[in-house]
Structure 1
Amino acid sequence: MRTGGCWLGAGRWFSLKPTPDEVQGWAQSFDKLMKNPAGRNVFREFLRTEYSEENMLFWLACEELKSECSKHTIDEKARMIYEDYISILSPKEVSLDSRVREVINKKMQEPSTHTFDDAQLQIYTLMHRDSYPRFLNSAIYKALLSLHIPPSPSTSTS
């Protein structure tokens, strides 16, 4: 539902309004969805309904870390990402295999913008294989799609 330049989905307001082409494009590839800010917002809403929003939050935090240049800021953000998403004590812990956790633990001794690359790829792959197909069949996506695609006229036979 669109209201005053914003649209409403799943009971939430979004400031980014996707175009019909963007919405249709999200079904073509997960990469298109993830590269589009409005697409990420809609997908995040969907993940929230599945109680797995932390996957998107972690992925976004890793993307933000990659844009940092200051060693001090990189250290701080890496520590925050670790505490928020990697630590087994975190309520927002993401699901990673033990090999990736070991690599991160070693890299945290000297954090860089690439400390979480393996983990980020693992979470991206998880979202792609697991959540994305359900997203395409979700009420959230179908409702948004129906806003942009007029129903096809039914053909009647005489």
Structure 2
Amino acid sequence: LRRPPPAEVMEPSPSEKDRRLSETWHPPCCCGPKPCCFCWCCCSSCSSNRRSLWRSPRPSRLQRLRSNSSPRSPVPAPRLTLEEASSWKRSFDCVLVSPAGRSVFMEFLRTEHSDENMAFWLACEDLKREQSQEQVCEKAKKIYLDYISILSPKEVSIDAAVREAINSSLARPSACMFDEAQAQVYALMHRDSYPRFLNSPLYKSLEQRLSALTCDT
């Protein structure tokens, strides 16, 4: 018996492919059986699920090597000199005006678990440079939640009267609303942390290394 020739397989049109895909594909449920209520917890869960479902495949080893070998423009870091490090002994302000000084002092404060003082002081300086009122409101709220609120783990030590004055100014935030609190934190660092910093092994070893480098050159 002669069999009939096989029927020619027709490639489905793009519209037919889309129709079949729409019939077989179902969007993933973001938050389980319950619809998303758009609260912070649900939205965080939704975005996490979407990231896991649509995560792009990991790059191959060759792709990673190519990306690592691509030329990059390095940003040169300013070199700390012995003269600059020694100038920090003159006054606490010499530490604060030096980018390297602020970085090293912050590292020291971390060893004493009091780095929130320096972080708060820097945040206040950044707030006072802000020109946009919208940004002032956002940054002031963040500073309050991070360093003034009694619920924050990074709460700084300030007087109750100063804290109450800040609470009263929350309705109309300004770039100078934390000035009194910043002054108190400055005085605390100047009086307590700064002398210990100058006598710390961290600062003394830094001076020794810079002195050795100066002698070698």
TM-score (norm 2): 0.61
Tell me if 1:46 matches 2:46. no
SS at match of 1:149: helix
Aligned equivalents of 1:65, 1:91: Cα separation in 2: 21
Tell me if 1:125 matches 2:195. no
Aligned equivalents of 2:107, 2:197: Cα separation in 1: 10
Unaligned runs of 5+ in 1: 1-14, 151-158
Deviation of the 1:17 alpha carbon: 3.4
SS at match of 1:94: coil
Tell me if 1:114 matches 2:164. no
Deviation of the 1:143 alpha carbon: 0.6
Aligned equivalents of 2:198, 2:169: Cα separation in 1: 36
Deviation of the 1:16 alpha carbon: 4.9
* Pair 25,98 (structure 1): closer, same or farther in 2 beyond 3 Å: same
Q: Counterpart amino acid of 1:106?
A: S
Unaligned runs of 5+ in 2: 1-76, 213-217
Instruction: State which of 182, 193, 209 in structure 2 corresponds to 1:147.
Output: 209
SS at match of 1:96: coil
Aligned equivalents of 1:73, 1:97: Cα separation in 2: 27
Q: Is the 8 A contact 1:16 1:37 kept in 2?
A: no
Tell me if 1:84 matches 2:146. yes
Moved over 4 A (4+): none
Aligned equivalents of 2:196, 2:132: Cα separation in 1: 39
Map 1:1-158 to 2 at 5 A: 16-150=78-212
Aligned equivalents of 1:141, 1:109: Cα separation in 2: 43
Question: Looking at both structures, which has the greater relative contact order when contacts are Cα pairs under 8 Å and sequence separation is at least 6?
Answer: 1
Q: Is the 8 A contact 1:18 1:39 kept in 2?
A: no
Q: Counterpart amino acid of 1:111?
A: P
Aligned equivalents of 1:133, 1:38: Cα separation in 2: 18
Aligned equivalents of 1:130, 1:107: Cα separation in 2: 29
CA-atom RMSD in angstroms: 1.0
Looking at CA atoms only, which structure, 1 or 2, has the larger radius of gyration? Answer: 2
Alignment size in residue pairs: 136
Aligned equivalents of 2:191, 2:211: Cα separation in 1: 26
Q: Is the 8 A contact 1:58 1:81 kept in 2?
A: yes
